[in-house]
Amino acid sequence: MSNTLSILIVGHRGLLGQECMNRLRPLGRISGVDIDTCDITRPEQIEAVIDSSRPDWVINGAAYTDVDGCESNRELAWAVNAGGAGNLARSCRSRGIGFVQLSTDFVFDGRKGEPYLEDDVTAPLSVYGASKLGGERAVREAGGRHIIVRTAWLFGKGGKNFPDTILKAAQSTDPLRVVEDQWGSPTYAPDLADAIGELIRKDARGIVHLTNRGSCSWFEYAVFILRAAGIKKEVIPVSTEELPRPARRPRFSVLSLARYEGIVGKKMRPWQEAVKEYLLNWQNSGNIIT
């Protein structure tokens, strides 16, 4: 890897942001800011931070990511996820800086029934999805050198994530009820950070779908996590209707990795391998199945 780039991570305390700070070091000089010094809804703070760190690339890991919370905080969702992305993209554009925006599988309605391509029609079902799509549009309209990375079902150390939730819930005497009719691709934050690094190295452009390989339902994901951790616990499959949430989610939001693999010439590893590594590293279970 070349060792010459300067990269600024915005939202460096978030799940992905932390891993970008760790994993992108081989690319060069990595710095990070979060909402306390760089609120992305405040253009003047963005300008000050960018002018002092003078990066070659900015990666935007900052977002309002509470999918259900977005339903009742529509203005904040749009201000951060759309407005903030646009503010960053314009600041980068006017200085000739490359910009990586993170987006989501929730820009789709899940009706396609096979993996989504980058140019498939978007139709978000939630305020979160719509505001993230607004972010994509704002980045495109800013007109600079940019990559829009759509990812999904992120998990990793130091953030709210599904494996931890399942392992914690398994300690309760109550049966575990997990949705069986929503399909997607779990994505390990360190793998995503590495893959973003690959896209930067290739000086990629446009929208790129990026998750770990393979797909599952939330129910299958939960069963795999428990087996991999060596925990015996009954998991009851339930329908989305049985576990109502404020925000609607797509039923099938698997993303095609063909474009990423074509650009980079490497495959993402299967989500099962990544989950096993996560459990091994961060749960110290010692019960990983092989």
Ligand X SMILES: NC(=O)c1ccc[n+]([C@@H]2O[C@H](COP(=O)([O-])OP(=O)(O)OC[C@H]3O[C@@H](n4cnc5c(N)ncnc54)[C@H](OP(=O)(O)O)[C@@H]3O)[C@@H](O)[C@H]2O)c1
Binding-site ranges for ligand X (CB under 6 A): 11, 13-17, 34-35, 38-41, 61-65, 80, 84, 102, 104, 132, 151-154, 159
Q: Which is nearer to ligand X, 228 or 255 (CB)?
A: 255
Token pair, residue 141, equals 């309209």
Which member of 116, 128, 188, 278 is catalytic? Answer: 128
Burial class (CB in 10 A: 0-12, 13-18, 19+), 181: middle
Q: How far is the CB of 11 from ligand X (least distance, A)?
A: 3
Nearer to ligand X, 71 or 233 (CB): 71
The number of angstroms, rounded, from the C-alpha of 47 to the middle of its chain's C-alpha atoms is 25
CA atoms of 17 and 20, how far apart (whole Å): 5
What is the rounded distance in angstroms from the CA atom of residue 77 to the CA atom of residue 70? 6
DSSP secondary structure of 94-113: HHT-EEEEEEEGGGS-S-S-
Nearer CB in complex with ligand X: 35/288: 35
- To ligand X, the closest distance from the beta carbon of 186 in angstroms equals 9
Catalytic (active site) residue 64: no
Instruction: Classify the phi-psi angles of 84: left when phi > 0, otherwise alpha if psi is within -120 to 50, otherwise beta.
Output: alpha
Tokens of 168: 């914690």
**Which is nearer to ligand X, 21 or 226 (by Cβ)?**
21
Q: Catalytic residues, which ones?
A: 128
